[in-house]
Amino acid sequence: MQAVIIIPETEWRQHLARLDKLEQAEAARLLATTAKPDEVLSTAQAAAYIGLSVDALLRARRAGRIQGVRLNERDWGFRSSVLDAYPRRYHRHTMQVAAA
């Protein structure tokens, strides 16, 4: 035996409309996460992207704090997904001194 709940038609249509909105939002979220390719930036571009100097970025790579991709014998590249994760993990907040 199954339970039956009777609701007014207007309430039913509201539930259907809300379900449609949720399904559209989920489809858009899935499309956004799968459609963005992981771009490889040069060392200079990567340093500017995360706000470090080129030397600091290369030191972080040598220390193992950030993963690089070998482009050729001399140059390194960095994936944008790795750069996006770097500041959240290693960024130190600076204390701002109030001007007197």
pLDDT tens for each residue of 25-61 = 998 888 776 656 788 999 999 999 888 899 999 999 9
Strands of the sheet containing 69-70, edge to edge, are: 40-42, 76-79, 69-70
Question: Mean pLDDT lowest for which of 5-14, 28-37, 77-86?
Answer: 28-37
Its domain, for residue 82, covers 40-90
- In the predicted structure, residue 100 carries a pLDDT above the cut 50: no
Q: State the total domains in the chain.
A: 1
Is residue 62 in some structural domain? yes
Helices then strands, counting H and E runs in the chain, come out as 4, 3
pTM: 0.53
Is residue 11 in some structural domain? no
Three-state secondary-structure class, residue 78 = strand
